[in-house]
Structure 1
Amino acid sequence: MVQLHENLDALKDLDVNMYIVSGDTPEEQAELYNALEDAYGKSLPFISDPDLKMIELFNMKNNDAAYRGYGLMDTEGNVVFNTINDLWGQELDQTVEEIKEEYEKIHND
């Protein structure tokens, strides 16, 4: 998450709303949100998904937890792309490129 927040500008040209979704409680997320905001002057909003319903929608449920990764939904709420990748932050250039490619596919259809 640190790598993402250090490089949010890499995705600024995409017309998307970005969120961090996790099974953590709102209180746990608020703590992390505040720490990121203190460190970087901003933080992406968090969505608390303790029942893992949204995570399951993205096909990222791993028993009682979530895989790490990223995905895109269209304006109708349909998942159009998802990637499970525990190293997405360390591979941020590749991650950004994949997100941009998938975004372009959606907008060119």
Structure 2
Amino acid sequence: MVQLHENLEVLKDLDVNAYIISGDTPEEQSELYKALKEEYGKSLPFISDPELELIDKFGMKNEDVAYRGYGMLDSDGEVVFTKKNDHWGEQLAETMKEINDEYNKLSNE
């Protein structure tokens, strides 16, 4: 299995801040952060969004929960792209490539 930190290397040369956003409480997120770090040697910081406000901005709100997926904001806080994908973590290499491609599109505009 490819390690999380190896896939996240795709983002290291980009001028981005990467986060995991969820409706979970900070306590629940802390547990998941520790589990990911223990399992993969690295994790991303979490943002708690219990009211789903940021999740809604990304168009990822599904009634009172969030869709699984990923997206990007530009430097002005505007949504650049989003993708709903329940399997983004299992397809992490492809996910990171798509994020990298979207970043490069934004950089070239």
Unpaired runs of at least 5, structure 2: none
State TM-score, norm by structure 1.
Answer: 0.88
1:58-109 CA-to-partner distances (Å, cap 9, x unmatched) read 0000111000000010111111111111111222232222111110111111
Q: What count of residue pairs does the alignment treat as equivalent? A: 108
CA deviations over 1:11-42 (Å, ceiling 9, x no partner): 22222100000000011001111222233333
Indicate conservation of the 8 Å contact 2:23/2:48, yes or no: yes
2:100 corresponds to: 100
Do the aligned residues in 1 keep the contact of 2:10 with 2:97 (CA within 8 Å)? no
2:32 & 2:93 partners in 1: Cα distance?
24
Moved more, 87-96 or 58-67: 87-96
Per mean C-alpha deviation after superposition, the further-off stretch among 92-101 and 20-29 is: 92-101
SS of 2:70's partner is: strand
Unaligned runs of 5+ residues in structure 1 are none
